[in-house]
Amino acid sequence: MANTQDSLPIALTMGEPAGIGGEIALKAWAKRGSAPFFAIDSLERLQGLARRFAIPCPVKAIASPADAPAVFAEALPVLPLPVPLTAPVSPGVPDERNGPAVVGAIDLAVRLATTGKIGGFVTNPINKAVLQKFGFGFPGHTEYLGHLAGDKPAVMMLAIAGLRVVPVTVHLAIRDVPRALTQDGILSCARIVAAALKADFGLKQPRIAVAALNPHAGEDGVMGDEESRIIAPAVAQLAAEGIAASGPVPADTLFHDNARARFDAALCMYHDQALIPLKTLDFAGGVNVTLGLPFVRCSPDHGTAFDIAAKGVADPSSLIAALAMAADMAARRAHA
């Protein structure tokens, strides 16, 4: 969907300042691969990264999101952090004392989105372990954003061209997945996905494939009964509600070319079942989208990459794709 010149800008949160977020933000502006966006970040930090890595991206402070479109043509607009960085930032060396600044950028993006100042926002990667050292009590972005939205159930979808995947259980050890998997959980997840595919992606009758948990979909109970006991009844209930759901489908036959043409999103039972095929097909271009929220939020589908943060070699492709998807979703909501 094309974005008009008067579309609201997209915000980009700082993320973990010791990671690659600042570098890829500068590179995304230099490539001009998306609609106008601005960074919620430290102007001095970004200026230093641009010099360090010789990225041709001037940066300019703005007073409000409304200033961003006019500035974007000549420089990356930067809205100051609401909570300043308190510890020196060294690429690849995180410091939990900067945790309040990281979370403050997220909080500001949510406030701007809920008050209609921006079309949506993209979050640069955070490091959960670093944030939890200063008291951040959430497993990650998705759960925290659901909390800020009024404890709404939020669903994580990963997307590339030609494939969207949704893990029903997310950051769990494999041994804990069967106990965590419930019919209600599958139903709630699928309903949110179906509604979002209609509202945010323009699909009139989205098709959802539901993966099996066990090899060969349990082989009639020989390899597990979660399919007959949990997954199949959920699929039947979805169909009764008018949602075009199919399954349970053995995961080893779900992601080849012909199979992918038969669905618009795949509900997977655990994290790696969803992410392995997506990252195999397009490791650099994946986008993380949070569904079920009253605002648009996307993110690049990678982490803070501390191991390369001091090298200047980070690939901005996933961030560029996330910014473009957020702009498209925001435009579709605005025109709804």
Please spell the DSSP secondary structure of 151-206, one letter per residue: S---EEEEEETTEEEEESS-S--GGGHHHH--HHHHHHHHHHHHHHHHHTT--SS-
pLDDT confidence band for 79 (50 / 70 / 90): very high
Question: What whole-number distance in Å separates Cα of residue 336 and Cα of residue 330?
Answer: 10
Q: Which residue segments constitute the domains of the chain, with CATH numbers given?
A: 1-156+284-336 (3.40.718.10), 162-281 (3.40.718.10)
| pLDDT tens digits, 267-314 | 999 999 999 999 999 998 999 999 999 999 999 999 999 999 999 999
Residue with tokens 């102007």: 43
User: Nearest 5°: phi and psi at 22?
Assistant: -65, -40
Residue with tokens 């489908």: 249
Write out the H or E segment, with its range, that includes residue 129. helix 128-132
| pLDDT tens digits, 12-64 | 999 999 999 999 999 999 998 668 999 999 999 999 999 999 999 999 999 99
- pLDDT cut 90: percent of the chain above it: 88
Calculate the average pLDDT of the chain. 94
Question: What whole-number distance in Å separates Cα of residue 238 and Cα of residue 62?
Answer: 47
pLDDT confidence band for 1 (50 / 70 / 90): very low
Write out the H or E segment, with its range, that includes residue 109. helix 99-114
Question: What whole-number distance in Å separates Cα of residue 142 and Cα of residue 194?
Answer: 18
The pTM (predicted TM-score) of the whole model is 0.92
CA torsion sign for 244, 265, 255, 249 is negative
pLDDT confidence band for 3 (50 / 70 / 90): very low
pLDDT at residue 4 tops 60: no
Write down the pLDDT at residue 6.
56
Please spell the DSSP secondary structure of 37-70, one letter per residue: EEEEE-HHHHHHHHHHTT----EEE-SSGGGHHH
CA–CA–CA angle 156, 174, 209 (5° rounding): 45
